[in-house]
Structure formats: C-alpha cells, structure tokens
Amino acid sequence: MNLVESLRAHRLLAIVRGKDPAAALRTVVTLAEEGITIVEVSLTTVDALTVIRQARAELGPDALVGAGTVRSAQDADRAVEAGASYLVTPALVDGLAAYGIPVLMGALTPSEIELALARGAAAIKLFPGSLGGPGYLRALRDPFPEVPFVPVGGVDAQAARDYLDLGALAVGVGSPLVGDAADGGGLDQLRARAAEFRKTTAQETP
C-alpha cells in the first residue's frame, strides 16, 4: 500500500512511544480498531522492535506500521528486519533510500527540505511543527507547492485542523492522541481521543 496515498486519504499518522511494550502493542491495535491505520512506533519505545514485529503479525502484512525516531542506517536495519513498513526520521539521515520502503524524513528549513527530497523522502515530516505553527507551513507552501508535508510536534485537534486547511498531506499526532495508553493507561480514553481526531481530520464532503 502506498504510504503517501494512504496519508492523503486518512490525513492522520499516530505516533506511539511508551515505557510498556505490551501496552504499546495494545495501543497500536486499538488505534487500528478505531480506524487509525497509519501508526508509527518510535524506536525510543521500550522493546520497540518487538512491538513493531508483533503489530505487523497481528494486523497483517498490509498494515502501515512504521518505525519512528530512525536516526541512522543502523536504526533502519533493525527496523526493516522487524517488519517496519516505512521509516520516520527526526532529521536528515543518509542511506535510507536503499531499503526500498517509504521514508518520512524530518526537516524544518527550506534548505533541509531540499536535502530531504534529494535523499528520496516520500514526504517531509515538518518537525518540530510547534516552532513555527500553521503560519510557517503557510509560508512554505509558496516555494514548495507540490511537496507533501506532515507537520509533527505539538499538534492538537485545533492545530490539526489548521494544518490540514493549509494543505498539509496529513498530521502526525503523539501524546494529544495516545495520551498515557502506551504506558499502561486506559484504552477507553484512547478510543475517545481516536474518535475525536478521526472527526477532526476527516475529509469534508461537498
């Protein structure tokens, strides 16, 4: 399944990071059950590779479960071996195009955006989005009208609406969506937040 097209359709990337591997896995599965099917498991999560491997096994080979906080080719090696279907970086990382799976590469400045595109990024993770907010994305749309941006960092429901209205491909949301679920927090609250964000990011019908 094409990552960019899936992001364009669903407009939401969930970011899971936590201290409890079993809870992190439950979080990924619960999000999928609630219709949030594009999930990034940060490599800062305890036993993240096992979480990725088990999530792919439980959700099926077409599941869009990626590895986040990929900072090196070594990180990518381990993530791909665990079954990650795409890679997400916090910054510019060399050598990831060789893995043959989509890369959502972190960049902030215009120069970094150009370098990320030259490295084969499928989309740009605009990070940290909170630094410039939706207004910064508006400014970037003029010189980069065709670049698919996914703002990440400090994206709550209001910011998500603003970014999407300004033409973001999707938004990446961590704690405002996941809360403490990946640390063992309640799944009912996670389901409620998932419903809220799905409503927020849903495509408007004419």
Angle between helix 187-201 and 21-33 (nearest 10): 40
Our answer to whether residue 199 is catalytic in this structure is no
pTM of the model as a whole: 0.96
Tell me the per-residue pLDDT of 93-123, one tens digit each, with 9 for 90 and over: 999 999 999 999 999 999 999 999 999 999 9
Of 58, 125, 146, 204, which is the active-site residue? 125
The contacts of residue 171 (CB under 8 Å, 6+ apart) are 11, 12, 13, 150, 151, 152, 155, 159, 160, 163, 164, 201
Our answer to whether residue 114 is catalytic in this structure is no
* Residues 52, 156: Cα–Cα separation, whole Å: 25
Confidence check: pLDDT of 1 > 70:
no
Of 34, 40, 114, 146, which is the active-site residue? 40
- Give the mean model confidence (pLDDT) for residues 62-91: 97
Write out the two tokens for 22. 């079993």
